[in-house]
Amino acid sequence: MERIGLIAGNGKFPLLVLDAARAQGYEVVVVAIKEEAFPEIESHGAAAVDWLSLGELSKLIETFRREGVSRAIMAGQVKHKQIFSAIRPDWRLAKLLLSLTTRNTDSLLGAVAKVLAEEGITLESSTGLLEPLLVKSGTLTRPPTEQERKNIEYGRAVARQLAQHDIGQTVVIAESACVAVEAMEGTDATIERAGHIMGSLHGDASTLSRALTVVKIAKPNQDMRFDVPVIGVKTIEVMQAAGASCLALDAGKCLLLDGDKILDAANAAGIAVVADPA
């Protein structure tokens, strides 16, 4: 059986990749990030699971070499703010960090991918094993209202400008006004912040609606090896709590984890979900 490596961050995404790889006949060697990965990764039938800290780039390479891994996948979120945490980088990661002129997601993970390639480990697309989970183009729940469509159009224009600088992939819009922009905090925290902003207003909305539209896009020339847009059931729950009524995604570029559950939750909450061509 061919071996493949999995660098596992948080969320269900790594578990789905592991299950899909095993179903397709691979032996999977997991390097689970101590600060991020779920403990359940231990019980999904991997050939080996090694727990390493975010700072241990050299040990990651040594682990894959020892296990005979020359192809690897990176799946699951590693919070960008971790670069400011108390984690001590080893010499290899410290050298990489100091060499970067910008430390956004693409430059960081792209540099890690380059180091792995130099050591004979090819980082492959994280969605290659999960093509059926990529959202298809179309209206997935109720159709967006006219105002929600205007919010989507405006939100996409804003998000695409931000994505060029790798700042974030999500914006939250109300009545064609930008309420919140994602930076290091992640999609769910951005939606929560937008909900707090609207919730801090006094009295009932009159002329303008406070209903929020969430727009999550892929970056221009999205590198599908890492930082792929992902939506889970929790995002729908956060949207409902924040007073969001619509979710817009990039078709073919965003993963829906537990797609049926996501759409059932969105339908139950009256949330429009639409995927337009990227």
pLDDT in tens, 244-267: 999 999 999 999 988 899 999 999
Neighbours of 9 (CB within 10 A): 20
216's tokens? 């999550």
Q: How far apart are CA 164 and CA 232, in angstroms?
A: 24
Which is nearest to 79 in space by CA: 105, 58, 115? 105
Q: How far apart are CA 208 and CA 101, in angstroms?
A: 43
Residue 265 resides in a domain: yes
- Would residue 143 be called left, alpha or beta, if left means φ above 0 and alpha means ψ between -120 and 50 degrees? beta
Show Cβ contacts of residue 216 under 8 Å, excluding neighbours closer than 6 positions: 159, 169, 170, 187, 229, 231, 247, 248, 249, 250, 254
**Percent of the chain with pLDDT strictly greater than 70:** 99
Which is nearest to 25 in space by CA: 147, 136, 129? 129
| 105 and 219 part of one domain | no
Tell me the CATH number at 142: 3.40.140.80
5 strand-pairing partners: 29, 72
| 199 and 273 part of one domain | yes
Mean pLDDT of 115-127: 93
Q: How far apart are CA 98 and CA 261, in angstroms?
A: 43
| 110 and 83 part of one domain | yes
Residue 208 resides in a domain: yes
| 54 and 152 part of one domain | no
Pair 115, 92: CB distance under 8 Å: yes
CA distances from 239 to 16, 106, 170, 176 (A): 24, 27, 13, 18
The per-residue pLDDT for 257 is 87
Mean pLDDT of 59-85: 91
| 149 and 102 part of one domain | no
| 229 and 142 part of one domain | yes
User: Of 61, 92, 124, which residue sits at a domain end?
Assistant: 124
- Would residue 252 be called left, alpha or beta, if left means φ above 0 and alpha means ψ between -120 and 50 degrees? left
Around 191, how many Cα atoms within 13 Å sit in the side-chain half-sphere? Answer: 25
Tell me the CATH number at 81: 3.40.50.20
Domain count, the chain: 2
Confidence of residue 31 (pLDDT cuts 50, 70, 90): very high
The per-residue pLDDT for 226 is 81
Between 12-26, 69-83, 135-149, 253-267, the lowest mean confidence (pLDDT) is in 69-83
User: Of 92, 124, 156, which residue sits at a domain end?
Assistant: 124
| 97 and 182 part of one domain | no
Residue 129 resides in a domain: no
Mean pLDDT of 19-39: 95
| 66 and 185 part of one domain | no
> Has residue 205 got a pLDDT over 80?
no
Report strand pairing: 27-33 vs 122-124.
unpaired
Which is nearest to 80 in space by CA: 166, 146, 8, 165? 166
Residue 103 resides in a domain: yes
**Domain limits at 66?**
3-124
The sheet with strand 244-251 has its strands ordered as 138-139, 272-277, 244-251, 212-216, 170-174, 177-181
Average pLDDT, the chain: 93
Residue with the two structure tokens 């010499």: 91
User: Of 74, 94, 124, which residue sits at a domain end?
Assistant: 124
